[in-house]
Amino acid sequence: MRRNHSNSGNYRNPCLTMHQPWASLLVYGIKRVEGRSWPAPITGRLWIHAASKVPDESTIKAMEYFYREIYALNGVTDIQFPQHYPVSRLLGCVEVVGCLTRDELACWEMVPEGVRLEAQTDYCWLCERPQKLLIPFEMRGYQGVYNLERKIYDAAVRGLCPVNSPLPVKFPLPDPRDPFCLKPGSISALTPNSKATEVNKSSNISLAIAGAQAAATQFSKKDHNSHSTTARNNAPDTMNADNEDTHIARSYNLRSGGRSMENDNIPSTELDRKFDDSTLPSYREKKSSSNYSEGSRRQTRSTGAEADLRQYPEASSKIFAAALKSLKQ
């Protein structure tokens, strides 16, 4: 097993607190890239803890839709999503094998197209070999990467079981002799003139990406001094898990067209005014296209992505309203 890099500070059993559904998707091997606004401070096993915020059903559906679409690019159509998304629990662990910048991962043709589409943040932590706990442990979370308590680690390590990922990915090392060579700048140094290969995006893919970005904006806040906060990770913050949003939001600073999504927050009231149930399908109430009024059909006819949205009755009106807004810009 690749262990932590020599400059990883005082990390013994590093752990990261994440919001749901992203935490479970990572532990189940569906999510293969963890996005952050700061580079990974460790290489090796990383424990994953779910924050205390209960995820909205709309957020879960938006992220599941995103992963269905990007996996379909590689011929994977049967994905077993988690049945539950527990909170305030230690869920399992992954192996962080390296970290690349967004542009490096997006143009890295040695990994599947779907993985490249996960490159939506400044820094992409590359994760392999997910394992989940048979019984998730209840515990509180902390800011940044922190050390798991020894007693929790001793109990957790005995309860791990391997996960059958839908499409396991082995990230190739630029230098097979160096297990720590996957770091920012390593891929661009090998191919200095390469540009991001444009994945052929269908309207479904465009909508899925926009939906994932819109789901992420609920955690987006102004990122003040994120790097200095990360620098304190050798001494875990005593912040209660209920207040984790401020720091964890930085992991979901997804960008659309190079623009930070932090500036794209849309008030719920405004979304409700612009996109009500007559124009977008509701998650709780499945509606067939025949139930739409003629005015609603005219509003959703302008793009292929909007047509696909009508065929996806499990979408959330608020999440996908924001998605459509970003597609139209």
Q: What is the pLDDT of residue 9?
A: 61
pLDDT of residue 152: 95
Measured between its terminal Cα atoms, the distance across the chain in Å is 45
What pLDDT is stored for residue 320 in this prediction?
60
Dihedral angle computed from the Cα positions of residues 130, 133, 137 and 139, in that order, rounded to the nearest 10 degrees: 0
Q: Spell out the per-residue pLDDT of the chain, length 329, in tens.
A: 444 443 356 889 999 999 999 999 999 999 999 999 999 999 999 999 999 999 999 999 999 999 999 999 999 999 999 999 999 999 999 999 999 999 999 999 999 999 999 998 999 999 999 999 999 999 999 989 999 999 999 999 999 999 999 999 999 999 999 999 999 999 988 776 655 555 666 788 999 999 998 898 777 553 334 444 444 444 333 333 334 443 333 343 333 333 322 233 334 343 333 333 333 333 333 334 334 334 443 343 334 444 444 444 444 556 666 666 666 65
User: Following DSSP, what letter does each residue of 252-318 receive, concatenated?
Assistant: G--EETTEEGGGG---HHHHHHHS-TTTS--SSS---GGGS-HHHHHHT-SSHHHHHHHT-TTS-HH
To which residue do tokens 């009755």 refer?
Answer: 313
In terms of Cα–Cα distance, which of 281, 270, 287 is closest to 309? 281
Tokens 């996806």 correspond to what residue? 312
